[in-house]
Amino acid sequence: ADPNARNLVEEVSIFVMWLFVWFVILTSLRVQVSCRENIVYGQGNPIKILAVDCGIKNNIIRNLVSRGVELHRVPWDFQLTPEVCNQFDGLFLSNGPGNPEMAHHTITGLKSVLKSGYDKPIFGICMGNQLMGLAAGAKTYKMPFGNRGMNQPVLNLKTNRCYITPQNHGYAIDTETLPSEWEPLFVNRNDGTNEGIMHTTKPYFTAQFHPEARGGP
């Protein structure tokens, strides 16, 4: 079957809400996707983040938790509302496989949050970048080959600093379709494709590359 016609996010996301802090990272890096109940570990860490799991990488969880985050991990089709998001210090949109337009539940919920004037940070990585763009009103497109592997040069358009990044994606945001209150934040220096966007007045920003990743096994 054509993977671009399948909802791969639904296949890799968790089924129920999970809560991660350092204890669970040390004891079990493998997500039990068949769980049927909410599980809380080490509740009480100072920074509360709601993370939408579209296929989240364990190293993203490790990096957030190591920085004092209590991570509330929810499935891709979790009902995002402004009321729910306002119970947290921020919202995180994870990486994930396949066509971002298939994650329609995530996009619909995120649209409602953006339209509410939500004032807390929203950050997305990889597919999280594409989902933010779609929720904002932009379009995405299938790349001929995608950007895969290490050593992808990415330019920060605000600082003119270049980063050498790891990537694995086959879709990109068409920045020409971004609404006026959004602008590109990063661009790939090899092919000129989008590598992140930001809101001009709200604390919303994304990275198409994987800032948490590094070379090696």
- Contacts for 28 with CB less than 8 Å, ≥ 6 apart: none
Show the tokens assigned to 56. Answer: 């989240």
**Catalytic status, residue 126:** yes
Q: Which of 35, 54, 85, 126 is catalytic?
A: 126
Cα–Cα distance list, 167 to 71, 153, 161, 195 (Å): 24, 10, 18, 10
Which backbone phi and psi does 40 adopt, to 5 degrees? -120, 130
| Catalytic sites, residue numbers | 126
